[in-house]
Amino acid sequence: MTRYSSEELMDMEQQYGAHNYHPLEVVITKAEGVWVEDPEGRRYMDMLSAYSAVNQGHRHPRIIKALKDQADELTLTSRAFYSDRWPLFAKKLSELTGKDMILPMNTGAEAVETAIKTMRKWGYLVKGVEKDKAEIIVFEDNFHGRTVTIVSFSVDPIARDNYGPYTPGFVVVPYDDLEAVMKAVNKNTVGILVEPIQGEAGVAVPSEGFLKGLEEIARENNVLLAVDEIQTGLCRTGKTFAFQHEGVDPDLIIMGKALGGGVFPVSAVAADKEVLGVFQPGSHGSTFGGNPLACAVAIEALDVLIDEKMSERASELGAYFMEGLKAIKSSKIKQVRGKGLLIGVVLEESAGKARKYTTALKEKGLLCKETHDWIIRFAPPLVITREEIDKALEAVREVLG
C-alpha cells in the first residue's frame, strides 16, 4: 500500500471527504492502549477515546482476538435466522444491566431511536395515550445523535438548522431543573430521555439528586425514564453506569460506543419485559443489529471491562487526574468538572478559543478535543496509568499553566 504523509492525507480528506467534521490536524495510523502514532512516527496520548468508544484502550488484545476468531467462523446471518452469538450477548448484557431484555442495534443514534420508539409504543399500548399525542421530555443542550428525529429536539443550531420539517412530540426543558420537568409532565407524557452527565455539552454534571428526582417524577406520573449512557456508561464515570451513582433504576438503558470495544459499532437498549415487550416481529429491526461479529466483540468488550476492574480504575485515576488539573495554577482555567475519567476543563472567556490550546496540547503529544469553543474534554482510555496521567498533567501545565 502506498504510504502517504500526514499533509497529503489531510489534503486528500479535505478534497474528497464531506466537511462535516473539523478534526485536529493529526493523522493516526497506529494505536495501542492509550497511545497513537502518526505516519511520521510521532506518538501521542489519546485523551478523547473516540468520545468514550475506546474505554478498553486501543486494540485491546482480547477484543482483537475475539474479532479475529469470530471472523473465521461466522460474521452475519441477519435476524432472519438464529445465530450462536446473539443469545449469549443478550444474556450477558441482561445480567449486567439487571434488565429482562435487550434490543441490539449498531450506532448510538439507532439505539436512541429505538428507545424513543419503545416509549411511544408503550405509551399507546400500555399507558393508553391517545393516538399520535405522545410526548417525551428532553433537556436543553442534549446530545443524543444525528437522525432527523433526534436533531428535531436539539437546541444546537449547527446540529439542527435546515433539517426540517422536524419530528414533533418532544418537550425541551432546562437540564438539572426538576421543577421544569414537573411542569412539563401531562397525561400524554410517555417518557423522559436524559444524559446522566451531558458529555457533548461540555461534561455538564447535574446537581446530586437530579436523576433520583427524575425517577420519582417518572414513577408518580406513570412515565418511563430512559437514560442515555452511550458516553457515560461502561465504566467511564467510575461505575458501570453513571445512574448508579444515585442508585436510580431507570426503565430503559441506552448503550453504545464502548459496547463495541473500540472496534465495531454495537449499540443496544435494555429494559424489562413490560417495556421492551411492546415489540412484535416486524415492528422494529436492523439487518446488522445483533450480528455475530458484533456480539463476539461486545461480549469480550464487557468481560474486559469487568475483569480489568475498569470502574475502579476510572474512579481512582479520575479523582487523581481531576485533583492534578485543579492544582494547576492558571488564569485561563475557570473550572474543572466531571466524574471518573470524564473530565471537562472550562476556560475563562479571556483565554480565547479552546482550539488554540488543543492544538498546543497536540504539539506536546496530547490529543484532546474541545467541545464548544471554551471547554476541553479529557477522557482517556480507562487503561491509562498513573504515570501516564502525570505525563499528561505536565503537558497541560505547560500549555495552560
**Other CB atoms within 10 Å distance of the CB of residue 360:** 15
Distances from the Cα of 33 to the Cα of 36, 45, 230, angstroms: 8, 9, 21
Does residue 240 contact residue 234 with C-beta atoms inside 8 Å?
Answer: yes
By beta-carbon proximity to ligand PLP, the closer residue of 83 and 231 is: 231
CA–CA dist 60, 320 (Å, integer): 24
Q: Which of 99, 121, 257, 339 is catalytic?
A: 257
Annotation says 143 is catalytic: yes
What residues contact residue 20 under an 8 Å CB cut-off, 6+ apart? none
Where does this chain bind ligand PLP (CB under 6 A)? 51, 107-109, 112, 143-145, 195, 199-200, 228, 230-231, 256-257
Q: How far is the CB of 99 from ligand PLP (least distance, A)?
A: 19
Q: Which of 89, 143, 321, 378 is catalytic?
A: 143
Nearest Cα neighbor of 26 from 37, 14, 12 is 37
Q: How far is the CB of 21 from ligand PLP (least distance, A)?
A: 12
Write down the residue that cell numbers 416486524 correspond to: 282
By beta-carbon proximity to ligand PLP, the closer residue of 259 and 395 is: 259
Annotation says 378 is catalytic: no
CA angle 169, 173, 178 (to 5 degrees): 120
Q: How far is the CB of 185 from ligand PLP (least distance, A)?
A: 23
Q: Which of 99, 228, 369, 378 is catalytic?
A: 228
Write down the residue that cell numbers 405522545 correspond to: 134
Q: How far is the CB of 339 from ligand PLP (least distance, A)?
A: 14
Alpha helices per DSSP H over 78-189: 86-97, 108-122, 148-152, 157-160, 178-184
Nearest Cα neighbor of 400 from 343, 342, 361 is 361
By beta-carbon proximity to ligand PLP, the closer residue of 149 and 388 is: 149
Write down the residue that cell numbers 442515555 correspond to: 228
Alpha helices per DSSP H over 259-401: 273-276, 292-307, 310-326, 354-363, 386-400
3-state secondary structure of 372: coil
Does residue 107 contact residue 267 with C-beta atoms inside 8 Å?
Answer: yes
Q: Which grid cell is 94?
A: 441482561
Q: How far is the CB of 108 from ligand PLP (least distance, A)?
A: 2
Q: How far is the CB of 62 from ligand PLP (least distance, A)?
A: 23
Q: How far is the CB of 191 from ligand PLP (least distance, A)?
A: 15
Closest residue by beta carbon to ligand PLP: 108
- Asked whether the CA dihedral 384, 389, 391, 395 is positive or negative, the reply is positive
- Asked whether the CA dihedral 325, 328, 329, 333 is positive or negative, the reply is negative
Q: How far is the CB of 109 from ligand PLP (least distance, A)?
A: 3
Write down the residue that cell numbers 437514560 correspond to: 227
By beta-carbon proximity to ligand PLP, the closer residue of 194 and 325 is: 194
**DSSP per-residue letters across 217-275:** HHHHTT-EEEEE-TTTTTTTTSSSSGGGGGT---SEEEE-GGGGTTTS--EEEEE-HHH
Catalytic residues: 143, 228, 257
